[in-house]
Structure 1
Amino acid sequence: MTMHRHVFACGDPALDFIATLRARRSARIDVLTAPGRLDAWYLESGLVDSVSPGADADLARARSVREAVYRLVTDRRQGRPYDESALAVVNDAARRPAARPQLAPPGRRTTATPQEALSTVARRAVELLGGPESRLLKECGNPECTDVYVDRSRGARRQWCGMKSCGNRFKAAAYRARKRNALVPAGR
């Protein structure tokens, strides 16, 4: 299977999963465009070592869980009660059998069906939203980015989902603005 190099900057697999729909307020770029892209995400996330090939129904189910997790994360961040329908979708997925690691001669190995991999993601969302790190959830400071991340930084000062993406862009723009302003003579 070709590796697709998904981005994992949010600090938790459940958050990285909801980040597969980028720029939710504008362009809405869905990186899960085919079952193979979803399979690749499961592998690249490290949650499983192998996954049986998914079908269109698996992709539709995964997108539904992704949007439900996003809704619950947004509700938690904004101090609202959880949306009941989103809660039902995530809890239903989390109740299903999850991927189970096995010990093999080379080490730990986790094989899964698409449904087991999705259940593993849903369980991670339950653990995150029901645990102490739920208070550390932040949305990226880039107005075009809607990624939510766990801010484990000292003093909770992190502003960007990741430095490789949004953080570098904003720091470079601020640097260029300072340079421009330094070149403008005083009084102008």
Structure 2
Amino acid sequence: MTSRHVFVCGDPALDFAATLRARRSSGTEVLTAPAQLESWYLASGLVDSISPCTEADLERARIVREAVYQLVTDLRHGRPYGETALDVVNEAARRPAAQPQLAPPGRLTTATPQEALSTVARRAVELLGGPDARLLKECGNPECTRVYVDRSRGARRHWCGMESCGNRFKAAAYRARKRQAPALTVR
């Protein structure tokens, strides 16, 4: 299965929360099937192999994803964490996580879907409870609802990623400037 997962948020927990895109409009679901969830776990680099995911694993992952997004949103808006979201993420983080092993080719992390989800939840706990929490920003694209870690110099980044949102808006701004510029007349 070919996937087009995007990892531009600066942390796997944020990229996981971004698997429901355009939350304010179309709400495009990336994790449409258990195979897509497996594909995301592998593409994220959190695990090297994963046992097959079920519909129940997919449903649980979506619940944790929404809880992570809610906690990130609460933090960004200076609100106390929602109790339900906090319980969901903490419960998932308490479960056994994927454990890397040393193998002849190097590090190898084999996981069950539950272990992979626990790893994501733990990343969310580390992010929201760590120094990067103050660097969280939402993408400047009004249609995009990705939250990213802005580690840019001077925290001047406006887009989740140039390849996904930034290029599109910079090109649109350029075209708008060209339309507004007075035409040069040749004499």
Secondary structure, aligned partner of 1:24: coil
Partner of 1:30: 29
Would the aligned equivalents of 1:5 and 1:44 in 2 still touch at CA under 8 Å? no
How far apart, CA to CA, are the structure 1 residues paired with 2:6 and 2:182? 37
Partner of 2:100: 101
Secondary structure, aligned partner of 2:39: helix
Partner of 1:19: 18
Partner of 1:173: 172
How far apart, CA to CA, are the structure 2 residues paired with 1:87 and 1:181? 49
Instruction: Using structure 1 for the length normalisation, give the TM-score.
Output: 0.96
The equivalences for 1:80-99 within 5 A come to 80-99=79-98
Letter in 2 for 1:34: A
Deviations 1:87-108 (A, max 9, x none): 0000000000000000001100
Partner of 2:110: 111
How many angstroms does 1:5 deviate by?
A: 2.7
How far apart, CA to CA, are the structure 1 residues paired with 2:75 and 2:115? 26
Letter in 1 for 2:37: L
Residue range with higher mean Cα deviation, 19-28 or 176-185: 176-185
Partner of 1:135: 134
Secondary structure, aligned partner of 1:27: coil
How many angstroms does 1:136 deviate by?
A: 0.3
Is 1:75 the counterpart of 2:70? The answer is: no
How far apart, CA to CA, are the structure 2 residues paired with 1:163 and 1:183? 29
Query: Kindly, what percent of the aligned residue pairs are identical?
Result: 79
Letter in 1 for 2:109: T
How many angstroms does 1:183 deviate by?
A: 3.5
Q: Unaligned 5+ residue runs, structure 1? A: none
How far apart, CA to CA, are the structure 2 residues paired with 1:176 and 1:138? 26
How far apart, CA to CA, are the structure 1 residues paired with 2:69 and 2:183? 45
Partner of 1:42: 41
Instruction: Using structure 2 for the length normalisation, give the TM-score.
Output: 0.97
How far apart, CA to CA, are the structure 2 residues paired with 1:95 and 1:119? 7
How far apart, CA to CA, are the structure 2 residues paired with 1:27 and 1:81? 28
How far apart, CA to CA, are the structure 2 residues paired with 1:29 and 1:118? 21
How far apart, CA to CA, are the structure 2 residues paired with 1:115 and 1:21? 20
Would the aligned equivalents of 1:136 and 1:152 in 2 still touch at CA under 8 Å? yes
How far apart, CA to CA, are the structure 2 residues paired with 1:10 and 1:40? 18
Letter in 2 for 1:83: G
Partner of 2:121: 122
Is 1:145 the counterpart of 2:144? The answer is: yes
Q: Unaligned 5+ residue runs, structure 2? A: none
The equivalences for 1:61-72 within 5 A come to 61-72=60-71
RMSD (CA atoms) = 0.9
Deviation beyond 6 Å, 4+ runs, structure 1: none
Would the aligned equivalents of 1:97 and 1:119 in 2 still touch at CA under 8 Å? yes
Letter in 2 for 1:21: L
